[in-house]
Amino acid sequence: MNAAENAQLALLLEVAGTPKPGNVDRARDLPDLRFEHFLAGAVGAGLGLRAAGEGAPVGEAFEQAVAGMSQQAGGNTQFGALLLLVPLVKATAEARGDLTPEDVTRVAESTTTEDAADFYRAFDHADVYVDDPPKDAEALDVRRGSDAIPAVEERDLTLYDVLALGDEDDDVAAEWTGSFERTFWTADRLAELADSAPASAIGARTYLELLAREPDTLVAKQHGPKVAESVRVRAQEALEGGPEVVEAFAESLVEDGINPGTTADIVAAGLFVALARGEVTV
């Protein structure tokens, strides 16, 4: 498979893993978001992912991927995952050997103001949950979508610069500015587990391990840091307690409307790296 196909496969494997507490998986839908919406989103994102693999600028490819992803009834299924996957796909296509953190960091740091403009245009296609910006940055509020582009251009901000503004509170942005550290940790962990179970199953296992390591920033934004830390502790308890405890944990998060979506995004990115390196196969 080429890089774009591996990215689509990573999206499919991520959503197929179960149980994945608080998130859609093949055994569990949310009230307004179903497993099939994620399948359609992964298919729809293909044009943008292929563009990234063929050398298109990151912002252009990302907007294309989000526009395609959003052409299903569930709304935003994989915005954060695509924000990680697009530079990873581009870096893979440009790498001379196995994909490394240095390869994707080089792609991220070389983004332009036009990439940032396309990033804002992507918000015209999907309703993405974000915090209110600081008052001195209201002009850069991503919820303004393309209306914020003049402010981006006036400040001459690259896409890397824009994401750096939020990297303390958003783990997808922190991957961009932190050499995709958690993505590559996830890929290494998936490689360790590769012979123990199918790819979707080890994806679900690694999701739970990631959730137990650090509070999910989407949960923190939506429900506050205390809830996010509680979810992290409960994930650790579920890991130690076995399948029945994990299943009960999964059901309770759905009942409480708690969605650790950022952790799922990082699992999708890690699955891509492991697939691209040939460390996980299907």
| Cα–Cα distance for residue pair 230/228, rounded to 1 Å | 5
Scan for tokens 């790819």, then name that residue.
199
Scan for tokens 């196995």, then name that residue.
98
What Cα–Cα distance (Å) separates residue 68 from each residue in 58, 74, 79, 92, 245? 15, 13, 11, 22, 37
Under the banding of pLDDT at 50, 70 and 90, the label for residue 242 is confident
Q: Is 134's pLDDT higher than 90?
A: no
Q: Is 131's pLDDT higher than 90?
A: no
pLDDT for res 96: 80
User: What does pLDDT average to over the chain?
Assistant: 96
In whole angstroms, what separates CA 196 from the centre of its chain? 25
- Where exactly are the structural domains of the chain? 3-273
Given a contact cutoff of 8 angstroms between Cβ atoms, the answer to whether 25 and 15 are in contact is yes
pTM of the model: 0.97
Q: Which CATH class for the 3-273 domain?
A: mainly alpha
What digits encode the pLDDT tens for the residues 56-81?
A: 999 999 999 999 999 999 999 999 99
